[in-house]
Structure 1
């Protein structure tokens, strides 16, 4: 499995926060001590940004300074932190698509997720989109320049490599609202619907939430739950202005409960297959 620098930064931030809390130190005290020792530049709020994972390329000097303050002296432990910091400084393939993906925070997490559970209310999940659908939805977002459209589609197709046969990518469980299917343009609907049928396998399942299910707990909108082997889960949502990540255990538990209710309201996997096949025959 490829290593995600995004996940490594998140892990490093979490572990540094845990070290400070275990030492019983406040952020203000640590900042003052780092300044006194003169290792790195420490402005007000810097440590908070580090612990909130609001950094792009972690500084090895900063991490070493914190390890000194937290009395981490074991050579093996310090070497592990040095390795983690170096991995967190790497750049992923998505950096080349920063013009269309921004910081690529979600893509970086998606890369190393063990499982992805997603509910989509109005669009087909990105990992399950055909090239034709990706083009159509990009135009639907108001992009008119053909070169820009091509960049968006290239990035979307590159993301799908984690699901390529033989890859060690995540297990995916996607619940797609019937509304998303009905919004697929007629000229590309057969190809996209057929793709949803073809991708089904033990590690990738698709369920359809029909209109007949009525109101349900996820009427507030789409979301994804990403689980990792060695890190806490993350819930991801996005709107027209921003990407949102939820990591608080209470928030995670709530979203997991919502997902279970939506999954129970959706058609079974075999019935969802039949639903999709019926769409092809309409």
Structure 2
């Protein structure tokens, strides 16, 4: 996780702490809104991290909740400042809702990726990424394509920074066979997969065809988890209809169950490395 932390994660962390203080003071959201002369929705959005609490909001809430410890006040103010910082990925104008995923992954302690069709973005080569985006969006403008590829490559620094998140990637065997961008591009991509699998913080497992039907057969998702136990894990999925973020307990449990099943069904990390190496040798 980065030293400064993701602004989105800081916003959620601040909201979680403000909610805890409210509950400890035995006040309802409506009571807080009435005391602050604001709407209940504003209080709710601050607590859920959908809105950043201003310095004045934090000061007023500390007074209302009778927070007297200067260290607690300073910590809340620090979270508020960090939650308002501008992340590097905000400079890219056409990333859409995926910027939220970058935010979450930047503040994660662990990331579990599953894909049945493509190598996940955190492990893609530049040319594979370019071919994948162009294939998914045939009419994309060239400048937008290059912006997305550049942002995707920059995201990968997450894996080599100090204290990187734990990355566990589960790939359907079809990912190794589908030639995205042609033979040379695919060979370079599989070689990168093999090299990345040697990193201590990265685990790659391949779900072989012989497993048959399995819970991830028709989907792709990212399960993002955090060190702070008060922050709910996030599941990200995407498709033609757009991006979806899930954080309900039932949704998270369902995806965790799918991950457990996939890990148990997949080849071991060592056998997965051997299969990737074999596939490299088969590309002419």
Do these two structures clear the TM 0.5 threshold for a shared fold by scoring above it? yes
- Which is bigger in relative contact order (C-alpha 8 A, separation at least 6)? 2
User: Tell me, what secondary structure is at the counterpart of 2:223?
Assistant: strand
Give the paired residue count: 274
- For residues 1-282 of structure 1, the aligned pairs below 5 Å read 1-2=2-3, 3-35=5-37, 42-55=38-51, 57-102=52-97, 104-142=99-137, 143-164=139-160, 167-185=162-180, 186-187=182-183, 188-201=185-198, 202-219=200-217, 221-231=219-229, 232-239=231-238, 240-282=240-282
Conserved? CA contact 1:208–1:272, under 8 Å: yes
User: Tell me, what secondary structure is at the counterpart of 1:236?
Assistant: strand
Conserved? CA contact 1:133–1:184, under 8 Å: no
CA distance in 1, matches of 2:61, 2:188: 54
1:103 offset after TM fit, Å? 7.0
CA distance in 2, matches of 1:103, 1:267: 30
1:249 offset after TM fit, Å? 4.1
Match of 1:39 in 2: none
1:196 offset after TM fit, Å? 0.6
Gaps of at least 5 residues in structure 1 are 36-41
Residues 51 and 244 of structure 1: CA distance in aligned 2, closer, same or farther (over 3 Å)? farther
- Deviations for 1:188-216, whole angstroms, at most 9, x for unmatched residues? 21111111111122211111111211111
CA distance in 2, matches of 1:237, 1:5: 18
1:99 offset after TM fit, Å? 2.2
User: Tell me, what secondary structure is at the counterpart of 2:163?
Assistant: coil
User: Tell me, what secondary structure is at the counterpart of 1:45?
Assistant: helix
User: Tell me, what secondary structure is at the counterpart of 1:207?
Assistant: strand
1:153 offset after TM fit, Å? 0.4
Provide runs of 4+ in structure 1 moved above 6 Å. none
User: Tell me, what secondary structure is at the counterpart of 2:68?
Assistant: coil
CA distance in 2, matches of 1:33, 1:184: 61
Gaps of at least 5 residues in structure 2 are none
1:227 offset after TM fit, Å? 2.6
CA distance in 2, matches of 1:219, 1:150: 30
1:281 offset after TM fit, Å? 2.4
Residues 86 and 178 of structure 1: CA distance in aligned 2, closer, same or farther (over 3 Å)? same
CA RMSD after TM alignment: 2.0
TM-score (structure 2 length as normaliser)? 0.88
Which shows bigger deviation, 60-69 or 227-236? 227-236
User: Tell me, what secondary structure is at the counterpart of 2:53?
Assistant: coil
TM-score (structure 1 length as normaliser)? 0.89
Residues 98 and 9 of structure 1: CA distance in aligned 2, closer, same or farther (over 3 Å)? farther
CA distance in 1, matches of 2:93, 2:56: 27
- Deviations for 1:10-35, whole angstroms, at most 9, x for unmatched residues? 10111112222222222112111111
CA distance in 2, matches of 1:103, 1:65: 34
Conserved? CA contact 1:131–1:153, under 8 Å: yes
